[in-house]
């Protein structure tokens, strides 16, 4: 059962008044972390209230138009009802996003699996799919690191997806994605199966990540950024590679021209990865009390995209499927995301 408390404008406005009074207290910044948390909550509440008031006004206006019983305005009224219906769906979906980091930004990483050029091409197709999804849903994207394949495609890419609820929506995409198609890289044009791993991590400000990394636990290497050649090839060593010695995690960042920016972004990704490990360990401990712990392992794909001998995209967790695979690969992922979020609360 979905909680509809999100529509309680009076409750939200009362809470906003309370938080604004707290923000006026001159001693608030004695606790910097608490102050930032309250200010962020104020901004989020103001946005929610504004969106709900605009939606409420749309519903009132549409109701008034419908009472006029004027056939000439029927087409415009139907269009407005479609908009209202979509906004209600979005609000309903947002009630499912209540975990700690759901409302924030996300780090999305794609890694080509075994299979050579086909898998690297598949990784690049996934990169495009998520960038298109971001564009269609008003999220901004910043590529932090990208490793190009020898013949085609990419070996890996790390992208910061910025916008409200970016992590909450994208967390459903974590796992192995499988592609079945006639290979464009096979001279005999045989059917190939390719795999790529997708990682989704919450993207927090460095000071907000509750992870301390002792300097002696990280090896920092500086190197020249790789590229396709020409004027954009870096002549200076600005790319950064971090090796976290205790875990063996390696993070590279080479998108920025500044070594300092690349270093900050690399530590941002490393801290997010270590935070995820900590969360998984806590989840594993809890599993002793509530059942088996499921960890995404290579080969246990969460979704298949079949282009031959038939066309079908199917999520193996929810059984949700779409016949128009090309639309899915063009960023139409919301039906999969919604199905997963509803699946996790049943």
pLDDT digit string, tens, across residues 102-123: 988 999 999 999 778 999 999 9
The rounded mean pLDDT for the chain is 85
Alpha-carbon gap, residue 52 to 121, rounded angstroms: 43
pLDDT at 114 (0 to 100):
78
* Distance separating alpha carbons of residues 205 and 186, to the nearest angstrom: 44
E strands present in the chain: 105-112, 140-148, 154-162, 175-182, 191-203, 218-223, 239-244, 249-253, 301-306, 312-315, 321-322
pLDDT given for residue 302 in this prediction: 95
Query: Tokens 């500086």 belong to which residue?
Result: 222
- pLDDT band of residue 89 (cuts 50, 70, 90) is confident
Structure token digits, residue 144: 């932090």
φ, ψ of residue 25 in degrees (nearest 5): -70, 120
Is 6 a residue whose pLDDT tops 50?
no
Please name each of the domains of the chain with its CATH number: 5-94 (1.20.58.410), 212-288 (3.30.160.20)
Helix (H) or strand (E) holding 115: none
Q: How far is CA 267 from CA 83, 172, 220, 299, in A?
A: 41, 24, 10, 29
Instruction: Look at residues 19, 21, 14, 25 and name the one whose alpha carbon lies nearest to residue 39.
Output: 19
* pLDDT tens-digit series, residues 35-67: 888 888 898 889 888 888 888 889 998 998 889
**323 pLDDT higher than 60:** yes
44 token code pair:
């989020």
Give 267-311 as a 3 state SS string. HHHHHHHHHHHHHHHHHHHHHHHHCCCCCCCCCCEEEEEECCCCC
- pLDDT on residue 227: 55
pLDDT of residue 37: 80
pLDDT of res. 279:
79
| Mean pLDDT, residues 2-10 taken together | 54
pLDDT for 143: 92
pLDDT computed for residue 4 by the predictor: 41
Q: What is the pLDDT of residues 123-158, one digit of tens each?
A: 999 999 999 999 998 899 999 999 998 889 999 999
pLDDT of residue 5: 43
pLDDT at 254 over 80: yes
pLDDT category at 3 given cuts 50, 70, 90 is very low
pTM assigned to the model:
0.73
Q: Looking at per-residue confidence, does 227 or 93 come out higher?
A: 93
Lowest mean pLDDT among 65-74, 79-88, 232-241, 242-251: 232-241
CB atoms within 10 A of CB 225: 22
Residue 296 CB neighbour total at 10 angstroms = 15
Looking at residue 290, its pLDDT comes to 41
Higher per-residue pLDDT: 204 or 22 = 22
Q: pLDDT at position 236, please? A: 65
Q: What is the pLDDT of residues 13-24, one digit of tens each?
A: 999 999 999 999
**What pLDDT digit, counting tens, does each position of 286-310 carry?**
555 444 433 334 557 999 999 999 9
């Amino acid at each position: 059962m979905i909680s509809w408390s999100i529509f309680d404008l009076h409750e939200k406005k009362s809470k906003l008044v309370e938080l604004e009074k707290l923000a006026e207290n001159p001693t608030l910044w004695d606790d910097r972390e608490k102050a930032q948390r309250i200010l962020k909550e104020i901004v989020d509440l103001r946005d929610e209230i504004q969106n709900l008031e605009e939606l409420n006004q749309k519903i009132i206006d549409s109701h008034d138009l419908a009472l006029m019983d004027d056939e000439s305005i029927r087409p415009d009224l139907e269009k407005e009802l479609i908009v209202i219906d979509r906004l209600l769906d979005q609000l309903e979906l947002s009630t499912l996003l209540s975990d700690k980091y759901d409302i924030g930004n996300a780090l999305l990483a794609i890694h080509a699996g075994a299979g050579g050029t086909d898998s690297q091409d598949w990784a690049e197709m996934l990169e495009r799919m998520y960038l298109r999804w971001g564009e269609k849903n008003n999220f901004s994207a910043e590529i932090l690191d990208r490793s190009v394949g020898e013949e085609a495609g990419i070996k890996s890419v790390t992208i910061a997806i910025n916008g409200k609820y970016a992590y909450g929506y994208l967390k459903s995409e974590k796992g192995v994605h499988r592609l079945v198609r006639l290979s464009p890289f096979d001279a005999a044009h045989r059917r190939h199966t390719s795999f790529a791993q997708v990682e989704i991590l919450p993207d927090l400000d460095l000071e907000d990540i509750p992870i301390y990394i002792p300097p002696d636990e990280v090896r920092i290497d500086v190197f020249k950024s790789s590229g396709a050649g020409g004027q954009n090839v870096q002549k200076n060593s600005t790319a950064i590679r971090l090796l976290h010695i205790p875990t063996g995690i390696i993070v590279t960042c080479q998108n920025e021209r500044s070594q300092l920016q690349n270093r900050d972004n690399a530590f941002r990704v490393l801290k997010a990865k270590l935070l995820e490990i900590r969360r998984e360990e806590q989840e594993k401990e809890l599993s002793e009390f509530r059942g088996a712990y499921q960890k995404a392992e290579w080969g246990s794909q969460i979704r298949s995209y079949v282009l031959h001998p038939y066309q079908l995209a199917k999520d193996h967790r929810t059984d949700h499927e779409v016949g128009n695979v090309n639309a899915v690969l063009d960023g139409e992922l919301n039906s999969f995301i919604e199905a997963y979020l509803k699946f996790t609360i049943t």
